[in-house]
Amino acid sequence: MPPKSSHNSSTNSSLINLRENHIIIFTDGAARGNPGPGGYAAIALYSNAHGEPQIDELGGRENLTTNNRMELKAVIEGIKNFKDYYQNLSDYTFTFYIDSGYVVKGIKEWLPGWKRNKWMTGAKEPVKNRDLWEELDELLEKGGKDMSHLADVPRIASLGGISGGIGAKKPAVRKVAPSRALKIELNLIEGHAGVWGNERCDEIATSYADNKAMVDAGKKPLNMYSGPLTEYAAAEGISGGENILNITAVHQARKDAMKARKSASSSRGSVIGADGKARPVAAYSYVSMVGGKIHADKTWAECEQRVKGKSGARFRKVFSKDEENDLMKEFGKTGK
């Protein structure tokens, strides 16, 4: 958490995408299985009481969870990090960069209807992860504080993304209920595509998911940073921190290699490795999703038995543990 302050903040206007009274947050979540052990992460860029840009890296884990829950938890913890820092969160705009369509659509499209329908979906089923959605809604409504004294002050909400961001659209500005305190901007970005802030969040989230013993002992599973933005690039254990404000793909080689592997595995009898060389197809596992449950089978026979005749079943062959994890994460982001 940032050190407590009673002052408002301003920012260095020369920093790309960092505006006055502005907080930028990258988030990500990960789960090893659905459900399974999981982790969440957030990287926040903000200004301290002296107008100096700061960075906070946040992370945590749960023993039995899902990818969608971890994606939601990352956003919630990103906001809660500032509850006791600024005097009034309604004075600030939170800009999120998220690779979860579930979270972005949930906030922008589904949440109002869920509340009207007493937390039932359009299919008359209970909303999944209701506890986290209610906690997030409370933060969006009140910033976690009693904001009743602002009842006569309308909020202007921008939900369309900031100009120039990935998938950015002209912000949709609208007045909403007076008690809704936070101003948010949501940017849906492509995961595992080289956006540095997203890549770093994924590293943090997966490290928490994979290191139960360390976390249970009160230790962080990797080096994490909290301090001035100017020192972030040189922080121990962090490579590329100077790219935190670059929301374009700064690791183009990684992005190209991933596309090549996907193309090769779907159309030819060989798959391209990270080194760019072809290797014979030898499946690591077969990942499937049936009825919202995700499994990884070692043989096609097992996977076929699981998916055959099941409506809406999805499945795909993968060639490494990393690809298995990525696909399980991808499948986990598709359902409400």
User: Smallest Cα–Cα separation from 17: which of 252, 238, 229?
Assistant: 229
Q: How far is 272 from 193, CA to CA, in rounded Å?
A: 17
Q: Note the pLDDT tens digit of each residue in 269-281.
A: 444 444 554 444 5
Q: Note the pLDDT tens digit of each residue in 249-266.
A: 676 665 665 555 445 444
DSSP state of 268: S
**Tally: H helices and E strands in the chain:** 9, 13
Question: In this structure, what token pair is assigned to residue 259?
Answer: 């596309």
User: Is 324 in contact with 318 (CB distance < 8 Å)?
Assistant: yes
Q: Is 2 helix (H, G, I), strand (E, B) or coil?
A: coil
Looking at residue 229, its pLDDT comes to 93
User: Is 91 in contact with 46 (CB distance < 8 Å)?
Assistant: no
Looking at residue 152, its pLDDT comes to 32
Residues of the chain with pLDDT under 70: 1-17, 143-180, 249, 251-281, 333-336
Q: How far is 124 from 219, CA to CA, in rounded Å?
A: 43
Q: How far is 319 from 284, CA to CA, in rounded Å?
A: 4
Looking at residue 194, its pLDDT comes to 83
Between the alpha carbon of residue 167 and those of residues 83, 97, 161, 187, 193, the distances in Å are 29, 11, 8, 7, 14
Q: What are phi and psi of 278, to 5 degrees?
A: -80, 145
Looking at residue 256, its pLDDT comes to 63
Looking at residue 283, its pLDDT comes to 78
CA contacts within 13 A on the Cβ side of 270: 7
End-to-end alpha carbon distance in the chain: 31
Buried b (16+ CB within 10 A) or exposed e, 91-123: ebbbbbbbbbebbbebbbebbeebeeeeeeeee
DSSP E strands in 66-191: the ranges are 93-98, 155-158, 173-176, 183-188
Looking at residue 118, its pLDDT comes to 96
Looking at residue 16, its pLDDT comes to 53
